[in-house]
Structure formats: C-alpha cells, structure tokens
C-alpha cells in the first residue's frame, strides 16, 4: 500500500526517485488540504503578498521552449514560462517540478543556491495546482529531458483545492462531465481531443472560405421552429409577451439568404433539440450547414467528400483513421454509393418489401428478431430497420441515396421514382455523419409537404419561409453535418460527451441518470 504522501503528489518522477516529505499537507484528506491552503493564503496576505493580483511576462509556451534546444545541445537560451504545477519533487537543496500550460508540460529545476535561501523556503510551501512563473536558461538533464534552470520564480495564483491524484485520476464519469476543467488538467487525451476539435472547426472554415462561401450567423431564437423533425426547447420573451423556440436546425434561415442573392453560404452554430440522451445524442450540439446555388445533391457529394478529406488531412494528418476495434477507415479514393431501397431489400432478403403492407413488414421484422414499435408509420418501420440492421455496418464511407420522401419535406422528389427524394446520407464508422439534398425550391410542392407534416404535428408551418420561396430561390444543394459526430469519428472518442467541453446536463439537480436515458432524437 502506498504511503499517504505518495497518494496525493502525482509525479512523473515517482518511478525514478522517492518523494521527499517536505509537504505534510499532501497527506491530509481533501477538506483538510483546503484548510491548509487557505491558511497559507491568509499568511501570505498578512505578509503583504496577494498572488491573485500578480502577473508574469511569458516569452514562450512550454513546447516552444523545448524546441529551442536541439538534440545535440546541452545548454540553451533563457526563457520565461508560466503554468500550473502538476508534478512536484521536493528535496533538501534542490527540487524538480513540471508545469502545464496551453501547449503541454515542461520541467524546471530549482536550486536553493541559485534563487536564495528565503525564496527557496517560500518555494517549498507551494502546492500542486498552484500557478507560477519561472525564468531561467534551458539545459538537458542526464536522462535527456529539456529543463529550465530557474533563476527566478513567482507564485501568480494560489490553488485552494487539491488536484485529483495521478494514479486514479478522474474515474467517475459524472465527475468528469460535471468538472471538465479537472479532467483537462489530469487527462492528456482530453486536452488533445479538444485541441483537435478546434483545429477541425478551423479547417472546416478554411475549406469553405477557399470555395468562396460566405460565413453567416442566423437567429437562435425563432418564432417558428423548422428545418428538422424535432421537439424544440421553448422559452418566453417577456418584452413581447410571446413564446420563442431555440432553433432545431439552421436550414430555413440559410435558404432565405439564397433567396436574398447570397448563393454560397455556410454556418457553424449550436442547435437545440429537446429529446433523448445517448452516446450519440445530446440536446445541445454543433451543426454545420452549407448551401450552394445552382448545385444539387450530387454536387454536395463532391463537396462533402472533399471537405472531410481536407479536414482529416489538415487537422488529423492522415486520410486513414484508426479505430479501437476493427479495420481502419480509409477516406482516400472514391467513396461507395448505395441506394436506400437496395440496402433494405438486401437486409431483409425480400424483393417486394416496399410493396408489403405495414402488418406484413412488422411480421417480417418479428421473424428477424427486430423490435419495432407497431405504432410507427409504414415508412418509419422501414427506417427503423435501416437504423437497427444496416447503419451500424456501414463502417467505410458510404453515400446512402434516394431515401423515402416522407423522411424529409425539404428535398426535391426523384423524377424516376416519386416515392424517393434526391438525398444522400453519408454514413461512416457505423453512423450518419452528414445528410444532403437537392433542395426543394417549388413553393407549392414545399407548402404541400409542410402541410402534411404539420398535420402530423412534426413540423411547424413557416409562412414567412414559404413567402420567401414565392419570391424565387435558385436551384441549390444543401448539406448538414453534426460537428460532434465528426469529432467522435476523427478523434476516436468514445461518445458525444467526450467531444464537448462542458456537459451542462450533468449539472442539473435530478435523480435521473443521463447515461441511462434512451435517445429518440434525430441525427446530430
């Protein structure tokens, strides 16, 4: 069994050398440590020192500093860095520590003879989690690690609570999502994933800017909720004494811009759907939507494939995406196309599936061991089969084309098959990543489709959007992509919550476990 001292000092030095007993507070439990740290702060303030009012002039971040010393050099220039203490090895006359900044970690060596006896005595009172600034020349240790030989240090912010101890870290999922900031301190993978998310979004923007798309921002509060079949979050606008909805999609406002003459537009924005929770669904998520005039769903195929290839190459550095299980995903070359109806017929082994009555389809599903809600509409039964039997098998990029027209009222009907629409759903890694349409721009056909859905209470009728269409919208292709799902795929995350900085749902005071809630939401 490890000693109490080792329990709380987490250090990458521990497997090399023992921990000196200079920090007795580290053996205390969490509440006692808080009390000890509060006492240190009070003493500092009595001495006229307030670490919360100090600053530090940085010259480099850790990775920049490390890069200044080539492999064949033993000594380097002077640098000034700042960050959080995440590893500490205190000794009698000299100590090692590591600090964490936005770019990574760097080691520092602090000697009593170098900084003075009084400063060293104060240094030994620092705690894990404290923020400090360090200035000094670089050198390479006997083990080859680039290290700062401290000439000067300064405490710039005191941590009043202990960090999670290294060896067990954050193992409680609820705590990880409630206190993401702690996860980011102790978990390198989480920091890398969120940095990767930022780079992915940056490259998405770079791609569209390179193709002369205009980036726009559309309203989050909407008087009429539309653009998707989903349940919105409602709120009340006191100034106007009327209800508004948080948007469930970006689509209808972006199409208004096509009417207005902007023929290439895109938006990266948050949307909100008051529905289920799962590994793939969250009520608040980030969507990309893009619309290009004088194009169609096939034009969107090229755009979507080129976009994902660009992002993978620039942000991830490879067109081959490794998976924790099974073969890697290959993004290069030409991606597969498959018609929705063909996939269904192959899965159920029945050529006349689409001619069968709903009751016969339900019987076939039962025979195949597929649980389907008998209250679903006919087309929903078929789509349930697709989601439960087919979708998870589509690991390599696959454009699933010509889905039933009932599934989307905003797309053009296929001329050769009026039961389908000119749509694809891109599936990668066993889930839908991006749907795209040949956008419906006939106001009469659009109104009819809206009326059908409005009658089923699945879509509100947006009269202003229909009025906009009557003023004329050019033919266009449109594409939507769930950014969170893209990040899951490209960074090999376990679930959607691992791609989000803060999972606010976890902060809610409820007896319901969010991890066990069934999702009924549409694609994100």
Domain ranges of the chain: 4-168, 184-335+396-516
CATH of domain 184-335+396-516: 3.30.930.10
pLDDT band at 479 (very low <50, low <70, confident <90, very high): very high
Site of tokens 């380097």: 76
Higher pLDDT, 30 or 18: 30
The pLDDT value recorded for residue 522 is 40
The pLDDT value recorded for residue 186 is 82
Mean pLDDT value of segment 456-466: 73
Q: pLDDT tens-digit profile of 337-374?
A: 999 999 999 999 999 999 999 999 999 999 999 999 99
SS3 of residue 412 by DSSP: coil
pLDDT band at 60 (very low <50, low <70, confident <90, very high): very high
SS3 of residue 385 by DSSP: helix
What's the Rg (C-alpha) of the chain? 29
Q: pLDDT tens-digit profile of 108-138?
A: 999 999 999 999 999 999 999 999 999 999 9
Instruction: Give me the half-sphere count of Cα atoms (radius 13 Å) on the Cβ side of residue 326.
Output: 11
d(CA 285, CA 248): 10
The pLDDT value recorded for residue 496 is 65
φ and ψ of 66, to 5 deg: -60, -35
Determine contact, residues 487/194, Cβ cutoff 8 Å. no
The answer regarding whether domain 4-168 maps to CATH 2.40.160.40 reads no
Q: Mean pLDDT score of the chain, rounded to an integer?
A: 86
Q: pTM of whole model > 0.85?
A: no
Highest averaged pLDDT of the listed ranges 254-268, 366-380, 481-495: 254-268
The pLDDT value recorded for residue 500 is 65
- Say whether pLDDT at 300 is over 90: yes
Percent of the chain with pLDDT over 70: 84
166-170, 225-229, 427-431, 471-475: lowest mean pLDDT where? Answer: 166-170
Q: pLDDT tens-digit profile of 279-293?
A: 666 788 899 999 999
- Say whether pLDDT at 188 is over 50: yes
- Residue 435's DSSP bridge partners are 425
pLDDT band at 513 (very low <50, low <70, confident <90, very high): low
């Amino acid at each position: 069994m490890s000693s109490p001292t080792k329990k709380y000092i987490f250090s990458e030095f521990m497997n090399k050398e023992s921990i000196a007993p200079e920090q007795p507070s580290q053996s205390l439990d969490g509440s006692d440590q808080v009390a000890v740290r509060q006492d240190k702060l009070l003493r500092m303030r009595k001495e006229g020192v307030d670490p919360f009012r100090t600053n530090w002039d940085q010259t480099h971040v850790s990775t920049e500093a490390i890069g200044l010393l080539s492999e064949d050099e033993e000594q380097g220039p002077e640098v000034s860095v700042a960050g959080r203490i995440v590893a500490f090895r205190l000794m009698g006359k000299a100590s090692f520590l590591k600090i964490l900044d936005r770019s990574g970690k760097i080691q520092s060596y602090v000697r009593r003879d170098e900084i003075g006896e009084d400063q060293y005595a104060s240094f030994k009172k620092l705690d894990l989690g404290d923020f400090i600034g360090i200035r000094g020349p670089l050198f390479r240790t006997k083990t080859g690690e680039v290290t700062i030989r401290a000439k000067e240090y300064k405490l710039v912010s005191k941590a009043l609570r202990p960090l999670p101890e290294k060896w067990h870290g954050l193992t409680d999922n609820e705590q990880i999502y409630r206190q993401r900031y702690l996860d980011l301190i102790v978990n390198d993978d989480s920091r890398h994933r969120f940095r990767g998310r930022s780079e992915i979004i940056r490259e998405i923007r770079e791609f569209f800017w390179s193709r002369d798309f205009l980036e726009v921002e559309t309203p989050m509060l909407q008087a009429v909720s539309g653009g998707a079949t989903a349940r919105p979050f409602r709120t009340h606008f006191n100034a106007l004494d009327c209800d508004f909805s948080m948007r469930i999609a970006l689509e209808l406002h972006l199409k208004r811009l096509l009417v207005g003459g902007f023929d290439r537009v895109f938006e990266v924005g948050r949307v909100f759907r008051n529905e289920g929770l799962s590994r793939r669904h969250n009520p608040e998520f980030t969507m990309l939507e893009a619309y290009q005039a004088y194009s169609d769903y096939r034009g969107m195929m090229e755009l979507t494939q080129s976009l994902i290839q660009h992002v993978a190459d620039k942000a991830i550095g490879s067109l081959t995406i490794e998976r924790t299980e099974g073969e890697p995903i290959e993004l290069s070359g030409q991606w597969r196309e498959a018609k929705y109806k063909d996939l269904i017929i192959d899965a159920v082994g029945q050529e006349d599936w689409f001619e069968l009555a709903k009751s016969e389809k339900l019987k076939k599903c039962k025979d195949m061991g597929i649980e389907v809600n008998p209250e679903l509409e006919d087309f929903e039964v078929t789509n349930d089969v697709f989601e439960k039997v087919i979708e998870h098998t589509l690991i390599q990029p696959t454009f699933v084309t010509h889905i039933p027209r009932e599934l989307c009222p905003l797309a053009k009907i296929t001329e050769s098959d009026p039961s389908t629409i000119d749509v694809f759903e891109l599936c990668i890694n066993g889930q839908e990543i991006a749907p795209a349409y040949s956008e419906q721009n006939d106001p009469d056909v659009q109104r009819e489709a809206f009326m059908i859905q409005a009658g089923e209470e699945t879509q509100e009728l947006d009269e202003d959007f229909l009025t906009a269409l009557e003023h004329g919208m050019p033919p266009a292709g449109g594409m939507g992509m769930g950014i969170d799902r893209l990040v899951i795929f490209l960074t090999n995350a376990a679930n959607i919550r691992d791609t989000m900085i803060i999972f606010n749902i976890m902060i809610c005071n409820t007896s319901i476990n969010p991890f066990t809630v069934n999702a009924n939401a549409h694609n994100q």
